[in-house]
Amino acid sequence: MTRSLSGRYTPLSLPPNIDYVRSSTLELCYQEIGRKKLTGSVAELGVYKGDFAKKINALFADRKFYLFDTFKGFNNADIALDQQNNYSTGAQNFSNTSIELVKSKMPHPDQCVFKKGFFPDTANDVTDLFCFVSIDTDLYKPVYEGLLFFYPKLVPGGYIFIHDFNNKFYKGAKEAVTNFCNEQGISYVPIADNWGTAIITK
C-alpha cells in the first residue's frame, strides 16, 4: 500500500475497482488481522457472482473461505418480511449465478467451501471461528440472522462488514444492524463506500 500526493492510500494488491473505499477498507482490515496474528476462517454471506468474494479470497489466501448464498436469489419469506415493513420491494433478481461461475473467479478455489441454500439453515454444521466476515444479503432477515450467527464466532479483533447500511432501497440492512447492536450492547462504524457499509469489531 502506498500513499499518493493527495494523501489517499492506493491499494497495491487488489485490482482497480469502482468501490475504492470498500476495497481499500477490506485491505486495511486484512493488514490489521495479520498484524494482530488473528486466527480463524473468513466468510461471505451473500455472494451473488463473487465480485467482493474474489477480493476476500485473494487477500486471505491461506484461510478457509466459506461462501453462503442460495445461488438462486432472495428467499420468498425474507422478501415478504421486507415488504411488510417497507424496507424494500425485494424485486431485484440475483438468480443468474452459480457455484461454478463463482469458483472460476476465485484465485484460491481450494480454500473455498460453498454453502448453497437458505441461510441460516446452511450454517448448521459450521463450527469455525472467524476473523473476517462480509454480510451482503440486502434484506433484514438474513442480515440479522448473519449477525446472530457470526458475531459469537468472531475472534477478538476480527471484523464484520455489513453492506447496504445506508442504502435507501434496502432499509432493512441498517435496521438489522442497529437492532442487533442495541440488543447486544455493541457499536459499529459506518463507512462511506457505495451504498454504505457498517463495520462491527470485537
Ligand X SMILES: C[S@@+](CC[C@H](N)C(=O)[O-])C[C@H]1O[C@@H](n2cnc3c(N)ncnc32)[C@H](O)[C@@H]1O
* Residue ranges in contact with ligand X by CB under 6 A: 46-49, 51-52, 68-70, 73-75, 78, 94, 118-119, 136-139, 142
Minimum distance between the CB of residue 92 and ligand X, rounded to whole angstroms? 7
Minimum distance between the CB of residue 68 and ligand X, rounded to whole angstroms? 6
Minimum distance between the CB of residue 184 and ligand X, rounded to whole angstroms? 21
- Tell me whether residue 121 or residue 187 sits nearer to ligand X (CB atom): 121
- Tell me whether residue 48 or residue 151 sits nearer to ligand X (CB atom): 48
- Tell me whether residue 47 or residue 147 sits nearer to ligand X (CB atom): 47
C-alpha cell at 55: 477480493
Nearest Cα to 189, choosing from 179, 201, 172? 201
Minimum distance between the CB of residue 22 and ligand X, rounded to whole angstroms? 9
Separation of alpha carbons 158 and 30, rounded Å: 9
- Tell me whether residue 105 or residue 202 sits nearer to ligand X (CB atom): 105
